[in-house]
Amino acid sequence: MLISLVLVGALAAAETPAATRDCLSTHALRSTAVLDDQTILFQLRDGSVWKNTLDFSCPTLGFHESFSYESHGMQLCDLDTIKVFEPYGISGATCGLGKFER
């Protein structure tokens, strides 16, 4: 009986949609971590972590693990882009952000 209750709870958790946001406040950002060419973690000052899966793979993002962004209205949104930092002043790839998922 206990096993079935645990299984039901696990299935319910798996079916619950993850919290998503279109935007994050740039003032709330504490740090970022690039996981690969398509995934960035954004940690906020409140301790929450939001994963952004870019619309498409962003060449060299995972290798260089650094990027810049230009925000509009003090928010970073799913319609904004990031630019990969490349060494020696070479222009890096510009890539579109996706939704932010908790």
3-state secondary structure the chain: CHHHHHHHHHHHHHHCCCCEECEEEHHHEEEEEEEECCEEEEEECCCCEEEEECCCCCCCHHHHCCEEECCECCEEECCCEEEECCHHHCCCCEEECCCEEC
Q: Quick one: pLDDT at residue 14?
A: 47
Q: Quick one: pLDDT at residue 91?
A: 78
Region 60-87: mean pLDDT is 92
The whole-model pTM stands at 0.80
Is the pLDDT at 8 greater than 50? The verdict is: no
